Amino acid sequence: MTAIRKFRENGATFFLLLALMAIFSLPRVLRAATVEEIAMIKSADRQKILVEGAKKEGKITWYTTLIVDQVVRPVKEAFEKEYPFVQLEFYRGNSENVVRKMLAEYQAKRYDVDLIDGTVSPVMVQRAGFLQRFYSPALADYPAELKDPQGFWGSTNLYFFALGYNTKMVKANEVPKSYADLLNPRWRGKMMWSTSRGSGAPMFIGNVLTSMGEEAGKAYLQKLKAQSIAKSTASNRQILDLVIAGEYPLAVHIFNHHAYISKSAGAPVDWYPIEPVTATIQTLALAKNAAHPHATMLFLDFVFSEKGQKVFQQSNYLPAHPKVNAKQADLKAGGGRFKKAVYMTPDVQFDKGNEWVDYFQDQFLKQ
């Protein structure tokens, strides 16, 4: 009873205090900062806000197309060393899988994912309206083609495509060095390429049509058709291994760093950049309703920074950052072996990819 009376006596003061507290904390209590606000912070205390927020979040979920063993794990370790209070979790799949998973989850209003990457997947998610624009100071150093003009994605690393050949079967002076050289009748039936949309024949076709122009490009491809290049749904890595095994002397369109890695291990294989080479960009983007926006922004800053890019370098990936060389410098455009590259940005891949896939199917498959 006394307690209640006491409460009544002090009631006025109590409620006044409560009301004051409520007014002062109104912005925080009623409305936590949205993902958009956090992603676009440009103030001087940005880092402090992000770190404080990240400490509460403690976690990031990343849907990745990168190779876990080769690069995701080192990146995770380096990042968690920098910010020990954040745990990085990942799901790995190919472009199609990560997109499918994220879209299905978003439709069901389940917002597990914070980050999504790929050479084309972020754009697919962007078109669906499930990406959040962000600002990362680290992206200032990057050239225009390696970041989204609207701020939806930045790049982590690059891929360059080259001709791979078996050095026991093809002498150095015989290696095809231009697109025209691929038409030499001696290579008929001796070449293989992958059917993969993102890295195989369709990408090669896209490069030819872009760099030579539609008309000249198609005329060239009609001649190439006569070379009866073997197709496989195997990945570029496996096709290169078939070349190493001697099944085919030439792989038309493989990742140059794969050939380099195998060559370093002593395999009878090398790569030749037929210019302009095809280049694709590994991009990284923020999910619209990311559950851990502070921590995720810290991560984005980290991977785009020179420090984060060095992790990619040390993992034998080709860093996107213009100031960070590849471990083997000549694997990157301008690194000594080739200059001209056609960058297939995610948007171009998305918009033109179907055409290239169709052209490949109609011309090279249904003959």
Binding-site ranges for other proteins (CB under 8 A): 61, 67-70, 72-73, 89-94, 96-97, 99-101, 103-108, 110, 112, 120, 124, 127-130, 192, 195-197, 202, 228, 230-235, 237-238, 241-242, 244-248, 261-262, 265-267, 269, 350, 353-354, 357, 360-361, 365-367
CB of 109 to other proteins, least distance (A): 9
Q: Which is nearer to other proteins, 20 or 68 (CB)?
A: 68
Which residues, at least 6 apart from 113, have a Cβ–Cβ distance to it below 8 Å?
Answer: 61, 62, 63, 91, 101, 102, 105, 287, 290
CA neighbor of 129 nearest in space, from 295, 289, 284: 289
Beta bridge partners of 59: 87
Nearer to other proteins, 300 or 357 (CB): 357
Question: How near is the Cβ of 1 to other proteins at its closest, in Å?
Answer: 47
The least CB distance from residue 262 to other proteins, in Å, is 5
Nearer to other proteins among residue 60 and residue 163 (C-beta): 60
219 CB neighbour count, 10 Å cutoff: 12
Contacts of 205 (CB under 8 A, 6+ apart): 221, 356, 359, 360
Q: Whose CA is closest to 162, among 346, 345, 337?
A: 337
Q: How far is the CB of 96 from other proteins (least distance, A)?
A: 5
Judged by CB, which is closer to other proteins: 10, or 107?
107
Q: Which neighbouring-strand residues pair with 342?
A: 278
Q: Cα torsion for 230, 235, 236, 240, to the nearest 10°?
A: -70
Half-sphere exposure at residue 213, Cβ-oriented, CA atoms within 13 angstroms: 2
Q: Which is nearer to other proteins, 76 or 276 (CB)?
A: 76
d(CA 128, CA 267): 44
Alpha-carbon span 39 to 46, nearest angstrom: 10
Q: How far is the CB of 193 from other proteins (least distance, A)?
A: 10
Residue (113 or 274) nearer to other proteins, CB: 113
Ramachandran bin of 288, using left for φ above 0, alpha for ψ from -120 to 50, beta for the remaining angles: alpha
Q: Which is nearer to other proteins, 194 or 309 (CB)?
A: 194
Q: How far is the CB of 277 from other proteins (least distance, A)?
A: 20
Smallest separation (angstroms) from other proteins to the CB of 224: 15
